[in-house]
Structure 1
Amino acid sequence: MKISVDVDCTPEEARRFLGLPDLTSVHELYLEKMRRTIEDGITPDSIATLMQSWAPMGEAGMNMWRQIFDQMSGTKK
């Protein structure tokens, strides 16, 4: 026997029902930071700084991902 249940709700209603936190303010903060970065002009340094601020463990996390991608692509530093 197979039973299917369809629930018609908005993402907000689903989030509340599951008890997940509302991260709307955090999302808006990051969007505003991205908008300011784009308006000020994106440079390679600003992209690197932004990515490092989002990466877990900062520079150590970025180095870990760089090593993983280098190993996958077969390049070594």
Structure 2
Amino acid sequence: MKITMDVECTPEEARAFLGLPDVKPMQEQLMREVQDRMTANIRAMEPEAMLRTWLPATLKGFEQMQEIFMSQMTGKKRE
């Protein structure tokens, strides 16, 4: 014997029926805190300092990649 039952209810109604806690207020609080922290960090960033930090490493990496490609094409090993 097989019995099928369709129940129409909202997620809130299902949660209350099953006795599960309502975590929506906690999620909203945490999301506000995450948003506030991200906004503060973005405001604290200085574009010039970021470029000075990242650019030299990026250029050096690009030069090394160029050397590897050239050595592969010419058949010479890097020193």
Shorter-chain TM-score category? 0.3 to 0.5
TM-score where L is the length of structure 2? 0.46
Greater CA radius of gyration, 1 or 2? Answer: 2
| Structure with the largest fraction of helix | 2
